[in-house]
Amino acid sequence: MPLDWGALIPLYLIGRELGARPEGSRLPEVVLIGPSRDGRRESLVELGEAVAESAAASGRRVVFVASADHGHTHLPNGPFGFDPAAVAYDRLV
């Protein structure tokens, strides 16, 4: 499955921050999670809790990146059309 902008852009920025790595050093492990947009809010909260617990239990440095543009409906001529709820969501976040 090809990576979308929600994964590519954060991965690019994180990689840029890592900079040149010493030879033989371990590259970070990457886990991408793309929950369904149709999922129940409670399920997403449970997913977040499970990720936080796993990160804490790992004892390793963890970077968590979450997309804040879940609406994708900002423009009438965009691929998903326009919905005023996208503006309200952006203001809330």
pTM: predicted TM-score of the whole model, two decimal places: 0.56
Domain residues of the chain, as ranges?
A: 5-92
Q: Please tell me the predicted confidence (pLDDT) of residue 73.
A: 85
Question: Which amino acid does the sequence have at 22?
Answer: P
Q: Which three-class secondary structure state does DSSP give residue 18? A: helix
3-class SS at 91? Answer: helix
Amino acid 11 reads L
Q: What is the mean pLDDT of residues 32-50?
A: 83
Q: What value does the mean pLDDT take over residues 28-42?
A: 78
- pLDDT tier at 67, thresholds 50, 70, 90: low
For residue 46, what are its two tokens? 């449970």
**Other C-beta atoms within 10 Å of 86: how many?**
19
> Is 37:47 a contact under the CB 8 Å cutoff?
no
E-only strand ranges, the chain: none
Residue 30 binned pLDDT confidence (cut-offs 50, 70, 90):
confident
Give pLDDT, residue 55: 92
Report whether pLDDT(38) > 80.
no
Q: What sign does the dihedral 48-53-56-58 (CA atoms) show? A: negative
Q: How many CA atoms lie within 13 A of 86 on its CB side?
A: 13
Model confidence band, residue 33 (pLDDT cutoffs 50, 70, 90): confident
